[in-house]
Structure 1
Amino acid sequence: MARSLLVLSGGHPYEEAPFADFLAGLGDWDVTHYVHPEAEARVAAGAADAADAVLFYDMPGYTFADGTVKTAPPSEEFKAALERRFASGRGAVMMHHAIAGWAEWPQWSEWLGGRFLYQPGEVRGEMKLDSGYRHDVDYTAELVAHHPVLEGVPATFLVNDEVYLGEVFEADVTPLIRAQHEYVAANFYSAAHAVAGRMFDNADWPHPPGSNLVAWTRQIGPAPIVYCQFGDGPHTYANPVVRRIIANALEWTAQGLGRSA
């Protein structure tokens, strides 16, 4: 009997058919897929409580319009549902733009282990510049740990994907994979400039160098969390190594109940 996988998406554009193919290639799961705003309401009503695995591929809490961005927190019921899941020892996997989700709910970034900022803002009591992005970057990914999430994964592998220059709480996570790419402002574009309509612009954006960590684990009480920066679009969805990593991560977090990171 197939185990249950809850997938949440929405809040950020993606190509639906290739993503559906990606989900179908992750193993023998009975997939339930909700898109925001329905996803938030379903989780608040208990959809995450019984799921064997949960995959967050969403970026909720934002409204982009006319060169501005507005943010909103999740409902108290949604917060309580995720707290309940993690307290029970059941973990989750977060992909790509999920690191930008829920800008007005700092607990989300604490659980995930980092944060992508669309506007300059406060992170852990310090003011930070908006984060950076760059699409279609060809780089070599390198394993930096021995871990069940990396079982069957080559020590290095090629990736073509969007990369982020944001906040990674390296002291609080267990590193899994690093990108052989220079995480400096010259190699990225400002997210705030993009929101304002200045796509692919890094002028007047003195972002300090950042972490090249693109996959890690985080322990939330008894619950195991995995974040992978991979996942911008069809090219990455089809990458067999990326599929293997996400499949492994779902298997590992589904075991839950106090697995150590």
Structure 2
Amino acid sequence: MPTIDYNAELNVVVAVRGHPFDRNALASMFEAMERIAFTFVDQPLAARIMDPDLLDGFDALCLYDMPGIDFSATEDRPRHVAPDPRIVAGFERLLEAGKGIVALHHALAGWPAWPEYAEALGGRFLYKPGSLRGSGRPDSGYRHNVKYDAVVLDPAHPVMAGIPPRFAMEDELYLAEVFEDSIVPLLRADHNFVAENFHSTSAAMEGRMFTNEGWNHADGSDCIGWVKRAGNSPLVYLQPGDDHLTYDNPVYRRLVENAVRWVASPAAHAWARAG
């Protein structure tokens, strides 16, 4: 399998906003990656430039955003906002053109009113109960500052180049929906993904933080990193990425750089189109 080319000069757009984050700490992580120029674009503008013509000249797209959710709504909070048809059409063209995509952490919650977006990413984090793949699903779970070991599942994949077989993390974990039938698992968390180990996101939206009282959720997937084909695009999703503790982790930095360089590579594009 081809290796990562760390000498390639790349230009990458990073879509941000929709969820609180430390912009300076995140930027520091990206700035440490040599020979890659990262351009931050905030939502809602970011969604409108996700089009192959507008991203011409950029080698990859990194999603660290959470569009399509209105947290200011006073009823049925948060309110799901459907994307403009022009946004959907542009993103579909982007996948048809094969632009490489890396999605990080809370990006899994983006565009909850757009089922195909979840299919593209390989799963969904639900802020409140909803329908997914034709069936009702409960709200997802979260747990901050979990200390766990991440375990490499596919050491031969280029995204795992230079990554230890097992490494320590302290980050937020999700009990979310993972479409295991459409992903290639790369990384798992050595943690028990059961409801009692997580907090209800719906309860948090109601002002009851850090509780799972009265919340029922089936056991979930421990997969926290995968690759998949999204149309003709190679896509990597990495669930870690909540705050500076993770941004500053040298292994995580290597993971993200590997992911960006892989989705921008000819080998990744050939792999996606061969699907």
TM-score, structure 1 length as denominator? 0.95
Equivalent residue for 1:78? 87
Q: Distance in 1 between matches of 2:171 and 2:212?
A: 19
* 1: CA distance, partners of 2:62 / 2:114: 19
Q: Percent identity?
A: 41
Identify which of 158, 161, 166 aligns with 2:168: 158
1:44 to partner: Cα distance = 5.4
Aligned mates of 1:243, 1:41 — CA distance in 2: 28
1:90-101 matches, cutoff 5 A:
90-101=99-110
Aligned equivalents of 1:7 and 1:141: distance in 2? 25
Measure, in 1, the Cα distance between the counterparts of 2:53 and 2:255.
27
Corresponding residue for residue 229 of structure 1:
239
User: Is 1:44–1:79's contact at 8 Å kept on the other side of the alignment?
Assistant: no
Quick one: which of 165, 190, 203 aligns to 1:193?
203
Q: Please give the per-residue CA displacement for 1:227-250, whole angstroms capped at 9, x wherever unaligned.
A: 000100000000111111110111
Instruction: Summarize deviations over 1:10-58 as a string: whole Å, max 9, x none.
Output: 1000011101101112331222111112222333594334420110000
Whether the 8 Å contact between 2:52 and 2:97 is mirrored in structure 1 is: no
Higher mean C-alpha displacement, 144-153 vs 71-80: 71-80
1:52 partner amino acid: D
Indicate the residue corresponding to 1:36 in structure 2: 43
Tell me, which stretches of 5 or more residues in structure 2 are unaligned? 1-7
Aligned mates of 2:52, 2:119 — CA distance in 1: 23
* Residues 49 and 122 of structure 1, relative CA distance in 2, 3 Å threshold: farther
RMSD: 1.6
Deviations 1:155-174 (A, max 9, x none): 00000000000100112100
Measured in 2, the distance between the counterparts of 1:99 and 1:135 equals 16
CA distance in 1, matches of 2:63, 2:54: 13
Segment drifting more, 251-260 vs 208-217: 251-260
- Stretches of structure 1 that go unaligned for 5 or more consecutive residues are none
Task: Give the residue type in structure 2 aligned to 1:121.
Answer: G
| Residue 267 of structure 2 is aligned to residue 258 of structure 1 | no
Shift of 1:198: 0.6
Aligned residues: 261
> Could you say which residue in structure 2 is the equivalent of 1:8?
15
Displacement, 1:148?
0.5
Which residue is 1:245 aligned to? Answer: 255
Map 1:16-165; keep pairs closer than 5 Å: 16-43=23-50, 46-65=53-72, 66=74, 68-145=77-154, 146-165=156-175
Of the structure 1 ranges 153-162 and 20-29, higher mean CA displacement relative to structure 2 is found in 20-29
